[in-house]
């Protein structure tokens, strides 16, 4: 009980409650919009959103996890960057570039053998990493804010990939990229039969692996110590001999690698996912932002919030039965982001109130003991 | 008799502190009234209330006998109350004129009309001998001139009651004399002046009466002419303080730090920040670089510790050439650095105390293996330092640095830097903003280091500290060393002359 | 020669929205609030005003309708930006995150409402606003054809906004105080300037101008609005940085980028470029690549308003 009380008073509790608060507000607003547009169908639709994949039993659940897989990685990408003091708004571009390279290898490199998917995935990771290298270098060397350079890279990536698909791997009938070879599809590992025929595959397990690795890097290693130090205080890191510029670039590269992996996992899943040749930025990249914010940039938290977002996205898909447009989900998610921006402030308020209580208690304790007030 | 300003029963608290506890103050018309107290005594808070920056929890303010309500600086201004803050409130890329008129801008048909204002500023500056150029940018003028701009700001608004918050913090002894003269002139013209300070000399020089605050409470109001410095200081601190620092004679050893022809360029202007500086520090001595803030001492330290690049010159650490080497290499070669700004450089406030205590050593084999941190060892080490150096915090090594008090944050930095057993300890303003107890403690640590054969390079703006703690004083002025003095054989006045460039030794070092 | 006229006219259509939106961003940042939500505000402004045109175009046409639409765009942009203002100023939240939220909400909202209204997300409208030739001015040789034919009043409104912005920023009491809030809010506060109020003004102005910019962008260049402004809001941010937060330089930067965009859209009509046979994708990428290069070169000595991005806390005086 004491440990629980301690946790309640700690800053992590106020952060978590702030995140949950933001989610609740987002959901509530979604409900209100549903009610305004079509009152009779609003509540059943809302419950469909909330039940997410469960609407369709274990198959639905499997699809939620399948859908969440790339989101886990874009969440990790943005979250990792946040931890090191950077805002990786370029996950979209990194993901599409990664996805492109993965598909390219999957289509054109059949000669490499039966585990082609491994090569393709590695290619995706490398591509994403390289794509993030530019904003990283620009920030370190030229003092260009990574937000604006990443946004430029998003658009350049989109146009470039579209152009290259048309040139090298075009399925003109459907205006998208071609299907990858069998050997480039990630193994199912029996997960599909386990979930009654959903699209779940080993990609989900790989995502979990990334979560664990990211967690270890951030919290247990010297490298993580340095990166987070730079994120908190660049000047003090410099004073301590940490190479801040190098770390900025490395952090972006790793974030890019994670987003690139998201692209690989999404397009090598074998469930018919292909890159459409349209001038629209990949939304999964931007989804990484609310996921990272809700997960407080903690890899474990990101894992769960990615599944949550996947959950309501799938719910939104099923909600179409009730004659609603699935864009409602995007509206809810942007509201969640907006309120999680407050989260820091809310966290401050809750933490402050709790500290005040704690101080009062401590003061009365000391007065009892007759000791000096420090 | 109506006082110009009377504050009665002022009480104000902030989260965790009772800053003002039923304080009363009376300011006579035409008097210069000093407000004396240590750091944290509540002087700034009280004056901020008078100026409308804060609202008191309890208490009233009267002007000329009538109660007034000062809800914001605009109200204060309407009542004729003006304030010159310790940290100037000037917009760096506006002109002098723009800064003065901001808030009371003259307009004609919707657009700014500055001609009459400019004339008035010039007239005021002549009348009160506060010479300024209305069209210069703030970023281009000296600190002394910036202060004059702040004063004209008040006069332009016809303020009768002038509050000065620690006005001499950044001035040379000569500029301080000038300011005292200006204040006397203003009082003669009928202005009533309140000035906040913790410097007894200034009070004796210019104030008529002095109110002393201690830990948020009103202590007493004395007539300055008939009070001694000892009385004032005792009331300020609550006990008799021994101003001298006890130390044995220095026992000198090898030359540890050698600086030769060091030059550091300025990023902004043509002139060098540090120009052709040469000096040395031997084992067992404390050498202090003394000078007015902004004369290159910060850049000199950055060059020695590696935070900045040197244009020319050579730096040797116990015989080893470390010019141009990276910070970590200097650190590993035996240099420790207690930085000027503990929040900017010294600590990562969002890390816990333990992680901060290994900030300079986390990469060594003691604390990591194969890239993974050894948290057990780190926590044990932190506990050891906390105990040895009496660093207090809410939860020991697990406390987040941000939650610690300034004094303990500084103690943590001192602990970390000293425990590394450096050959050279560079300490920049190590006691800034700390209370007397913490200051005593840190001076003790510095002397202990010196006695155990370390070389200490101290940079300080506090003349008391400079005179008492150091074995040798190097005065820096406009980037050059202009004097090498023995504190036992020099006076504060002489030191001030060197610091302000009025005097320089013919050949130094 | 006709190609030249065509290029200049087209450049106007791409540059003026950039100019207006960048000026909006400038006002916000000059007051101390970073506003990356310009993209989202443009979308909201464009959406509401295009809807207005769509709903009214059966009964009204021409410049009158356009003026009403411009007012709607401006107003909706202002209201939408209130969200950012509140989050950044009162709640002191991270201004980049708040801006991102607004950027994500806007297209989702626009698509959602459009789908409810008509099933699809593209809202078409009839363009009755093109001015073939301005009376008198359009007949001046050369200059007339460059600037006063095939034009829209939005172009002239944009230039007017530039002139007014310059005057307001540097020659009025409001402008002086606004700039102070972005450089040293403590100083402004100490002389009685209402920092919160000034910052709200800055953000609201950016909302009004960005909303306006959304419509100014859509009208000359398309026949419908599909819930996107193709990254224009972000290009405007680059223009603002390249223009060092100064109106005159922003003008230059806006035209520089606008010209790039024009070339990328119209290259097939320029014989010399058409013959080079470079793929269309390259042209599409060009403005963004050039933006990157320009940013790299101009950010080193960037002098952004010192207090931009840092929430001001009245309590921490």
Domain ranges within chain B, ordered by starting residue: 5-237, 242-334+423-509, 346-421
What is residue A10's predicted lDDT score, i.e. its pLDDT?
61
Shortest distance, CA C164 to any CA of chain A (angstroms): 28
Average pLDDT over residues B173-199: 86
> Beta-carbon neighbour count of residue B222 at 10 Å?
20
- Considering only CB atoms, C285 lies closest to which of A143, A160, A335, namely A160
- Write down the domain spans for chain A: 1-38+328-374, 59-323
Q: H or E segment at C49?
A: helix C38-56
- Please list the residues that pair with B108 across neighbouring strands: B111
Q: Is C179 in Cβ contact with B103 (below 8 Å)?
A: no
Q: Is C187 in Cβ contact with B89 (below 8 Å)?
A: yes
Q: Is C193 in Cβ contact with B102 (below 8 Å)?
A: yes
Q: Is C87 in Cβ contact with A340 (below 8 Å)?
A: no
Instruction: List, in sequence order, the alpha helices (H) in A84-221.
Output: 91-108, 116-142, 146-168, 191-194, 202-220
- In a domain? residue C272: no
Q: What is the ipTM of this complex?
A: 0.84
Instruction: State what percent of residues in chain C have pLDDT above 70.
Output: 97
Phi (first) and psi of residue C80, to 5 degrees: -65, -35
> Beta-carbon neighbour count of residue B126 at 10 Å?
10
Is B359 within 8 Å of B338 (Cβ atoms)?
no
For C190, name the nearest residue in chain B, comparing CA atoms only. Answer: B73
Is A107 within 8 Å of A180 (Cβ atoms)?
yes
Quick one: CATH architecture of A59-323? Orthogonal Bundle (1.10)
**Among A205, A178, A207, CA closest to A105:** A178
0.90 cut: is pTM over it? no
Q: Give A-chain residues touching B331 at CB under 8 angstroms.
A: 241
Is A77 within 8 Å of A288 (Cβ atoms)?
yes
Q: Give A-chain residues touching B350 at CB under 8 angstroms.
A: 232-233
pLDDT tens-digit profile of C58-117? 888 788 888 999 999 999 999 999 999 998 888 888 888 888 889 888 988 898 888 888
Q: Would you list which residues of chain A are within 8 Å, Cβ to Cβ, of chain B?
A: 11, 220-223, 225, 228-229, 232-233, 235-241, 352, 356, 359, 374
For B90, name the nearest residue in chain C, comparing CA atoms only. Answer: C187
Please give the order of strands across the beta sheet that includes B274-282.
B274-282, B255-264, B312-317, B320-321
Select, from the ranges B246-250, C27-31, C64-68, the one with the highest average predicted confidence (pLDDT).
C27-31
Say yes or no: C116 contacts chain B, CB-CB below 8 A: no
Phi (first) and psi of residue B334, to 5 degrees: 115, 25
Q: How far, in Å, are A361, B328, B346, B461 from residue B340 at the CA level? A: 35, 19, 8, 11
Report the largest interatomic distance among the alpha carbons of chain A, rounded to a whole angstrom. 84
Q: Is A233 in Cβ contact with B373 (below 8 Å)?
A: no
Q: Give B-chain residues touching A352 at CB under 8 angstroms.
A: 15
For A164, name the nearest residue in chain C, comparing CA atoms only. Answer: C281
Average pLDDT over residues B436-444: 81
Q: Is C172 in Cβ contact with B73 (below 8 Å)?
A: no
What is residue A371's predicted lDDT score, i.e. its pLDDT?
37
- Considering only CB atoms, C300 lies closest to which of A143, A153, A279, namely A143
Q: Give C-chain residues touching A154 at CB under 8 angstroms.
A: 231
Cβ contacts of residue B119 below 8 Å, gap of 6+?
A: none
Which of A155, A293, A332, A350 should one mutate to test binding to chain C, selecting the residue with the greatest count of C CBs within 10 A? A155
Say yes or no: C4 contacts chain B, CB-CB below 8 A: no
Cβ contacts of residue B223 below 8 Å, gap of 6+?
A: B208, B209
Residue bearing the bigger pLDDT, C79 or B389: C79
What is residue A326's predicted lDDT score, i.e. its pLDDT?
74
For C187, name the nearest residue in chain B, comparing CA atoms only. Answer: B89
pLDDT tens-digit profile of B58-76? 999 999 989 999 988 888 9
Q: Which range of residues forms the domain containing residue C117? A: 2-229
- In a domain? residue C270: no
A2-9 vs A11-37: helix axis angle to the nearest 10?
A: 70
Is C191 within 8 Å of B102 (Cβ atoms)?
yes
Q: How many structural domains is chain C composed of?
A: 1
Average pLDDT over residues B423-434: 87
What is residue A357's predicted lDDT score, i.e. its pLDDT?
63
Q: Give C-chain residues touching A33 at CB under 8 angstroms.
A: 112
Residue C294, helix vs strand vs coil: helix
Measured CA to CA, the distance from residue B173 to residue B160 in angstroms comes to 27
CATH code of domain B242-334+423-509: 3.40.50.300
Spell out the per-residue pLDDT of chain A, length 374, in tens: 666 665 655 666 777 777 788 888 888 888 888 888 778 878 888 888 888 777 778 888 888 899 899 999 999 999 999 998 899 999 999 999 999 999 999 888 888 777 888 999 999 999 999 999 999 999 998 888 888 899 889 999 999 999 999 888 888 788 888 888 877 888 888 777 777 777 888 899 999 999 999 999 999 999 999 999 998 888 899 999 999 889 999 999 999 999 999 999 999 887 777 888 888 888 888 889 889 988 888 999 999 999 988 888 888 878 777 777 777 777 887 787 787 776 655 555 555 565 566 556 655 555 555 433 33
Shortest distance, CA C172 to any CA of chain B (angstroms): 5
Is A189 within 8 Å of C272 (Cβ atoms)?
no
Superfamily of domain B5-237 in CATH is P-loop containing nucleotide triphosphate hydrolases (3.40.50.300)
Q: Is C191 in Cβ contact with B111 (below 8 Å)?
A: no
For C119, name the nearest residue in chain A, comparing CA atoms only. Answer: A325
Q: Which of residues 163-222 of C touch B (CB under 8 A)?
A: 167, 171-173, 176-177, 179-180, 183-184, 186-193
| Side-chain-facing half-sphere of A174: CA atoms under 13 Å | 11
Q: How confident is the model at residue B172 (pLDDT cuts 50, 70, 90)?
A: low
- Please list the residues that pair with B259 across neighbouring strands: B279, B315
Measured CA to CA, the distance from residue C196 to residue C201 in angstroms comes to 9
Q: Is A356 in Cβ contact with B371 (below 8 Å)?
A: no
| Side-chain-facing half-sphere of C13: CA atoms under 13 Å | 20
């Amino acid at each position: 009980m004491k440990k629980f009380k301690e946790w309640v008073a700690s800053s992590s509790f106020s952060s978590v409650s702030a995140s949950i608060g933001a989610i609740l507000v987002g959901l509530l607003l979604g409900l209100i919009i549903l009610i305004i547009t079509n009152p009779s169908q609003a509540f059943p639709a809302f419950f469909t959103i909330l039940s997410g994949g469960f609407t369709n039993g274990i198959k639905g659940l499997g699809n939620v996890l399948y859908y969440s897989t790339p989101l886990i990685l874009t969440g990790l990408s943005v979250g990792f960057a946040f931890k090191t003091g950077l805002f990786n708004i370029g996950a979209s571009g990194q993901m599409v570039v990664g996805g492109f390279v993965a598909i390219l290898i999957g289509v054109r490199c059949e000669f490499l053998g039966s585990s082609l998917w491994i090569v393709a995935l590695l290619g995706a990771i490398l591509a994403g990493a390289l794509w993030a290298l530019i904003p990283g270098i620009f920030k370190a060397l030229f003092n260009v804010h990574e937000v604006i350079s990443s946004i430029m890279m998003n658009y350049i990536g989109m146009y470039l990939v579209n152009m290259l698909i048309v040139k090298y791997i075009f399925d003109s009938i459907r205006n998208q990229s071609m299907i990858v070879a069998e050997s480039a599809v990630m193994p199912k590992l029996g997960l599909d039969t386990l979930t009654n025929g959903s699209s779940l595959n080993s990609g989900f397990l790989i995502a979990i692996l990334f979560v664990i690795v990211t967690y270890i890097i951030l919290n247990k290693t010297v490298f993580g110590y340095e990166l987070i130090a730079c994120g908190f205080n660049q000047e003090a890191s410099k004073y301590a001999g940490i190479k801040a510029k190098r770390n900025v670039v490395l952090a972006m590269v790793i974030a890019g690698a994670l987003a690139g992996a998201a692209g690989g996992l999404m397009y090598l899943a074998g469930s018919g996912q292909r890159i459409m040749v349209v001038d629209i930025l990949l939304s999964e990249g931007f989804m990484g932002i609310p996921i990272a914010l809700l997960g407080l940039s903690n890899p474990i938290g990101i894992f769960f919030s990615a599944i949550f977002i996947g959950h309501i996205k799938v719910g939104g898909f099923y909600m179409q039965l009730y004659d609603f447009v699935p864009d409602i989900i995007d509206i809810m998610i942007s509201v969640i982001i907006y309120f999680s921006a407050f989260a820091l402030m809310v966290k401050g308020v809750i933490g402050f109130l709790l500290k005040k209580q704690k101080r009062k208690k401590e003061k009365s304790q000391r007065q009892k003991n007759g000791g000096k007030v420090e | 008799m109506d006082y110009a300003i009377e504050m009665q029963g002022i009480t104000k608290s902030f989260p965790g502190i009772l800053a003002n506890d039923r304080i009363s103050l009376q300011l006579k018309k035409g008097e210069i009234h000093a407000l004396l107290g240590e750091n944290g005594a509540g002087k700034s808070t009280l004056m901020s209330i008078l100026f409308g920056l804060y609202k008191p929890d309890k208490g009233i303010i009267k002007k000329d006998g009538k109660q007034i309500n000062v809800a914001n600086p605009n109200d204060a201004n309407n009542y004729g109350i003006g304030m010159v803050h310790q940290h100037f409130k000037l917009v760096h890329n506006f002109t002098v004129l723009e800064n003065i008129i901001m808030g009371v801008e003259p307009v004609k048909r919707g657009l700014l009309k500055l001609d009459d204002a400019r004339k008035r500023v010039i007239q005021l500056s002549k009348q009160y001998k506060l010479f300024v150029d209305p069209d210069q940018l703030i970023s281009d003028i000296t600190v002394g001139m910036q202060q004059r701009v702040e004063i004209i700001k008040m006069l332009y608004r016809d303020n009768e009651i002038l509050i000065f918050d620690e006005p001499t913090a950044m001035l040379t002894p000569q500029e301080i004399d000038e300011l005292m003269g200006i204040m006397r002139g203003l009082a003669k013209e009928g202005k009533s002046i309140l000035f906040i300070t913790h410097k007894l000399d200034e009070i004796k020089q210019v104030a008529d009466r002095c109110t002393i605050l201690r830990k948020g409470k009103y202590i007493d109001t004395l007539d300055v002419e008939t009070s001694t410095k000892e009385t004032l200081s005792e009331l300020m601190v609550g006990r008799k303080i021994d101003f001298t620092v006890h130390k044995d004679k220095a026992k000198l050893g090898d030359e540890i730090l050698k600086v030769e022809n060091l030059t550091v360029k300025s990023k902004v202007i043509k002139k060098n920040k540090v120009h052709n500086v040469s000096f040395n520090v031997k084992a067992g001595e404390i050498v202090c670089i003394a000078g007015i803030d902004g004369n290159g001492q910060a850049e000199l330290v950055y060059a020695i510790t590696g935070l900045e690049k040197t244009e020319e010159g050579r730096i040797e650490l116990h015989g080893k050439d470390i010019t141009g080497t990276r910070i970590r290499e200097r650190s590993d070669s035996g240099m420790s650095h207690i930085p000027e700004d503990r929040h900017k450089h010294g600590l990562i406030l969002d890390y816990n105390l333990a992680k901060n205590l290994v900030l300079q050593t986390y990469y060594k084999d003691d604390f990591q293996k194969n890239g993974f941190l050894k948290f057990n060892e780190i926590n044990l080490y932190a506990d050891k330092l906390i105990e040895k150096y009496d660093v207090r915090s809410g939860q020991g090594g697990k406390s987040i640095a941000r939650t610690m008090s300034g004094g303990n944050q500084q103690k943590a930095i001192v602990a970390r830097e000293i425990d590394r057993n450096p050959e050279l300890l560079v300490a920049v303003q190590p006691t800034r903003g700390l209370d007397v107890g913490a200051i005593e403690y840190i001076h003790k640590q510095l002397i202990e280091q010196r006695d155990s054969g370390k070389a200490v390079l101290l940079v300080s703006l506090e003349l008391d500290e400079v005179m008492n703690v150091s074995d040798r004083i190097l005065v820096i002025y406009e980037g050059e060393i202009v004097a090498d003095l023995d504190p036992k054989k020099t006076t504060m006045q002489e030191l001030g002359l060197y610091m302000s460039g009025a005097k320089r030794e013919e050949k130094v070092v | 020669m006709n190609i030249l006229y065509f290029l200049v006219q087209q450049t106007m259509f791409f540059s003026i929205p950039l100019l207006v939106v960048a000026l909006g961003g400038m006002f916000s940042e000059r007051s101390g609030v970073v506003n990356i939500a310009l993209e989202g505000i443009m979308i909201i402004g464009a959406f509401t005003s295009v809807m207005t045109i769509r709903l009214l175009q059966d009964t009204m046409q021409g410049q009158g309708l356009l003026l009403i639409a411009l007012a709607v765009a401006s107003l909706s942009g202002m209201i939408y930006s209130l969200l950012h203002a509140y989050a950044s100023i009162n709640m002191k939240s991270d201004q980049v995150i708040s801006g991102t939220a607004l950027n994500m909400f806007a297209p989702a909202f626009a698509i959602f409402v459009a789908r409810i209204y008509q099933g699809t997300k593209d809202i078409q409208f009839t363009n009755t606003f093109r001015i073939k030739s301005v009376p008198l001015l359009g007949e001046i040789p050369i200059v007339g054809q460059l600037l006063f034919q095939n034009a829209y009043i939005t172009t002239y409104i944009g230039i007017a906004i530039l002139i007014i912005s310059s005057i307001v920023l540097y020659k009025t009491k409001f402008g002086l105080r606004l700039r102070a809030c972005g450089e040293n809010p403590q100083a402004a506060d100490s002389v009685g300037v209402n920092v919160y109020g000034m910052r709200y003004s800055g953000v609201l102005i950016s909302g009004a101008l960005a909303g306006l910019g959304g419509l100014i962008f859509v009208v000359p260049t398309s026949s419908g609005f599909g819930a996107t402004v193709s990254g224009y809001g972000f290009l405007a941010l680059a223009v603002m940085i390249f223009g060092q937060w100064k109106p005159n330089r922003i003008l230059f930067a806006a035209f520089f980028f606008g010209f790039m965009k024009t070339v990328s859209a119209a290259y097939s009509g320029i014989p010399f470029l058409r013959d080079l046979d470079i793929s269309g994708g390259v042209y599409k990428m060009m403005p963004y690549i050039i933006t990157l290069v320009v940013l790299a070169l101009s950010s080193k000595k960037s002098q952004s308003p010192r207090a931009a991005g840092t929430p001001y806390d009245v309590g921490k005086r």
